[in-house]
Amino acid sequence: MELIAEHPVLDLSYFKREERVWFTFDGVAMEGFKGAPIAAALHANGVRVYRETPNMKRPRGFFCAIGKCSSCFMVVDGIPNVRTCVTPLAAGMKVETQRGKGRALIAPIISE
Amino acid sequence: MTDISTDILVVGGGAAGLSAAAEAASCGADVLIVEGDLRLGGQLVKQTHKFFGSRDEYAGTRGYKIADILLDEIRENEGKVKALTNTTVTGYYIEDKTFTAMRGEDSCARIKARRTIVATGASERLIPFPNNDLPGVYGAGAVQTLMNVYGVTPGRRVLMVGAGNIGLIVSYQMTQAGVEVAAVVEAMPKIGGYWVHAAKIRRLGIPILLRHSVKEALGERVVEGAVIMELDDKFNPTGLERTIECDVICLAVGLSPTTEILSHAGCRMRYVPELCGSVAERDRTMRTSNPDFWSAGDAMGIEEASAAMVEGRIAGLCAADSLGLPAKMEKLDEYWARLNRLRAGEVGAKIRSGIGKVSRDEWEV
């Protein structure tokens, strides 16, 4: 993984790399740290492209890291448009490249 | 949907918000901090360098340690401050005096507060060039988050755009993280940041190319390089270009205040170039034209974290005072003396001029 192995100022414990968990990216098993953002885990695994824009099919990836810009939207456990830069990684998560606007798995609301 | 109510809501748990929360809690207020990120501390937790300024604002202490100091202070006021992280305030409905917030991606809350302190900070600016949407074109704050909060290497070789303080500091931080900085380009004819930061990266042999900017990012799916170009006095290309091999183009081209919530609350706003955007009019207590709303930090104009912390103190103190709590209002003069020291001299001239345009002695009823 593309992780910082030594740092002149920060103690490595600062990065809170406490629990390694497995997740999948487009079906490929990857390792990351529980509780850190999904986007950071992907970046550490060398993944740069997180979604594809609806019309021009442009690749998009990490950008603002504060949940504001929508560049890192992905499909996580079937839910599209997840802000992966501020969503913590959990064991067994299924992370997928989002193509276009994504399709929600929410059942239609039936009036009572 | 959950309903939450609090004496004082602090929107944003960075330098200004934590200071505001600590101050208000010390007066006896019940405070709720709502923070969009996974951790409290805002930009402070990403700063590995020692701060300047005066000792009152922790000069000589590294930024990430200042966050710890503020969090310890908050914990001392046991039970007074609650914090929701990974929660974004999405709006304020003035007719109901109610905030909406989103926790994670799938749960929502309504928040009612007697007083609100908006400490939402800023967001990064982008500059236009072909392929600026390619993965690998990152904001400087995002690069800091990756490497200084989560310990992830942002790339192998980086082109930094902007030689203001952020561009210079983040360039140095990247070398600390073992990342090569190919060059720093700056469109202006002079370095915008402090000389000491520039000297640190020049000593490492990193070129700072003034009157240079990015012409385009190269690459099909991700950044594989950048074409940089020389500019003349009127910022037009001279025709001199070269290609830099890099996998990250880091943008440190300025910040804009984040003010949506203030706008929702009907606070009177004004565009002030010196403060880098549209900001709220404020009185000496950091109150806005909406008497229930205070604001502090970069949301009120782009400045340094040291000033944000003092503004936060003022807002926290005065919001608590407005609730009839025992706030030591004599501290207000001391806080203003600190702000005036931070904004003194030539470097503070721009800020002083900007703040002069939005300061109010009183509000018409």
Chain A residues lying within 8 Å of B38, measured CB to CB: 35-37, 86, 88
In chain A, where the domains are located: 16-99
**Given CB atoms, is B141 within the 8 Å cutoff of chain A?**
yes
For the stretch A31-63, pLDDT in tens is: 999 999 999 999 999 999 999 999 999 999 999
pLDDT over 60 (residue B188) = yes
Output the pLDDT for position A97.
97
Q: What is the largest CA-CA distance in chain A?
A: 62
> What pLDDT is attached to residue B105?
83
The pTM of the full predicted model, rounded to 2 decimals, is 0.94
- Classified as helix, coil or strand, A36 is coil
Chain B residues touching A49 at Cβ < 8 A: 135, 221-222
Token couple for B107: 């749960």
Q: Which residue in chain B is spatially nearest to A73 when comparing CA positions?
A: B105
- ipTM for the complex shown: 0.92
The CATH class of A16-99 is alpha beta
Question: Which of A64, A86, A87 lies closest to B139 in CB terms?
Answer: A64
CA proximity to B120, closest of B338, B285, B251, B277: B277
**Per-residue pLDDT, A84:** 97
Instruction: Please judge whether B152 and A87 are an interchain contact, meaning their C-beta atoms are less than 8 angstroms apart.
Output: no
Give B148→chain A minimum CA distance, Å.
Answer: 8
Q: Report the residue of chain B nearest A69, measured CA to CA.
A: B123
From B244's Cα to the closest Cα of chain A, the distance in A is 20
Where does the pLDDT of residue B210 fall: very low under 50, low under 70, confident under 90, or very high at 90 and above? very high
B152 burial level (CB within 10 Å; 0-12, 13-18, 19+) = buried
Cβ neighbours around B355 below 10 Å, total? 21
Helices B63-76 + B305-322 axis angle, to 10: 20
Give residue A106's pLDDT.
61
Q: What is the pLDDT of residue A1?
A: 76
Residue B132 has a pLDDT of 97
Residue B178, min C-alpha distance to chain A (Å): 8
In degrees and rounded to multiples of 5, residue B298 shows phi and psi of -60, -25
B150 to A82: CB separation less than 8 angstroms, yes or no: no
Rounded to 10 degrees, the C-alpha dihedral B129/B134/B136/B141 comes to 60
B62-82: pLDDT as tens digits: 999 999 999 999 999 878 999
B134 shares contact with chain A (CB less than 8 Å): yes
Task: Give me the residues of chain A with pLDDT under 50, please.
Answer: 112
Assess A15–B contact: CB distance below 8 Å, yes or no. yes
Q: Report pLDDT digits (tens) over B243-281.
A: 999 999 999 999 999 999 999 999 999 999 999 999 999
What is the least distance, in Å, from the CA of A103 to any CA of chain B?
15
Among B38, B106, B136, the residue with its CB nearest the CB of A37 is: B38
Domains of chain B in start order, with CATH, are 2-123+255-358 (3.50.50.60), 126-251 (3.50.50.60)
**Under 8 Å between Cβ of B124 and B112:** no
A87 touches chain B (CB under 8 A): yes
* Amino acid B77: pLDDT: 86
Please provide the average confidence, as pLDDT, over all residues in chain B: 95
